[in-house]
Amino acid sequence: HQSRYEVSCAFVQSSDFDGVLLCFQDVTQEKQVGQLRRDFVANVSHELRTPLTALMGFVETLQGPAKHDADARDRFLAIMASEAGRMNRLVGDLLSLSRVESEERMRPRTSVDIGGLLRSTMQNLASLAEDACVTMVCEISEAPVMIPADADQMIQVFSNLIENAVKYGGKGSTVTARLTEVERDPTLRQPVVRLDVQDTGAGIDPVHIPRLTERFYRIDSHRSREMGGTGLGLAIVKHIISRHRGRLKIDSQLGEGSTFSVVLPKG
């Protein structure tokens, strides 16, 4: 990023010195934060404008030309319910993101069974996978795996990653959730628990991977919206993992599926 400075200039005169005093104040970070805030507001406005426009149009139609058309009324109401649900999901994710960001500096201290949470999440999403004709494989030991974590936020991470794998893996794919304990992670330099969510879908072009956790970044905007995505899921995941002092790794190749890995410290 290009550095930005605010410069002030003043004439200085004393008994033994005459000159000009220049003060340089680095405001790069403030400018970047301001730009991020403006981009965020613009993105939220754009995400809300589309369903709001659709709702307003259907309400106007139902009040006018389709007032007495029962078939049109039922069809429009179904679309309106879908658009309202989309806005509700967006607002929910915005509130969740705000809450996660506010807690990011407070590391969880409560010990939870991470394996049990993952097994429970897999069971809760079994019907989603069945409806999508996706096979789910659970490679998780029955023995408790205890780490300091926020149980609700971990369920949020697991649900997001597994739902994404099911939705984008596609019909006939397999989603595998694997939990392993590692004596020493080379990056975190301590014992960790590693969760891998692997799918056998179409994969992701590596050019997109560095930006996947950005807010509102989508590879295919139309497909994401059709599937109910808000563009905030992986941003929330990233902040939760950051709060837990862990790391997120994404490996994928086109035509070879994807693996999302979460590494969390055990202590």
The model's pTM:
0.76
Cα–Cα distance for residue pair 242/233, rounded to 1 Å: 14
| Mean pLDDT score of the chain | 87
Strand pairing partners for 176? 137, 198
3-class SS string, the chain: CCCCEEEEEEEEECCCCEEEEEEEEECHHHHHHHHHHHHHHHHHHHHHHHHHHHHHHHHHHHHCCCCCCHHHHHHHHHHHHHHHHHHHHHHHHHHHHHHHHHCCCCCCCCEEEHHHHHHHHHHHCHHHHHHCCCEEEEECCCCCCEEECCHHHHHHHHHHHHHHHHHHHCCCCEEEEEEEEECCCCCCCCCEEEEEEEECCCCCCCCCHHHCCCCCCCCCHHHHHHCCCCCCHHHHHHHHHHHCCCEEEEEECCCCCEEEEEEEECC
**93-120 pLDDT per residue, tens:** 888 888 888 888 888 989 999 999 999 9
Residue 167, number of CB atoms within 10 A of its CB:
19
Cα–Cα distance for residue pair 168/203, rounded to 1 Å: 9
Cα–Cα distance for residue pair 141/144, rounded to 1 Å: 8
Please name which of 94, 77, 3 lies closest in space to residue 43, comparing C-alpha atoms: 94
Q: How far is CA 215 from the centre of its chain?
A: 7
Cα–Cα distance for residue pair 111/107, rounded to 1 Å: 12
**184-231 pLDDT per residue, tens:** 888 888 999 999 999 998 888 888 998 889 888 877 766 666 666 778
Cα–Cα distance for residue pair 44/230, rounded to 1 Å: 10
Cα–Cα distance for residue pair 74/88, rounded to 1 Å: 21
Kindly tell me if the per-residue pLDDT of 31 is higher than 90.
Answer: no
With cut-offs at 50, 70 and 90, classify the pLDDT of residue 46: confident
**248-261 pLDDT per residue, tens:** 999 998 888 999 99
With cut-offs at 50, 70 and 90, classify the pLDDT of residue 20: confident
Cα–Cα distance for residue pair 250/23, rounded to 1 Å: 44
Residue 41, number of CB atoms within 10 A of its CB:
10
- Residue length of the chain: 267
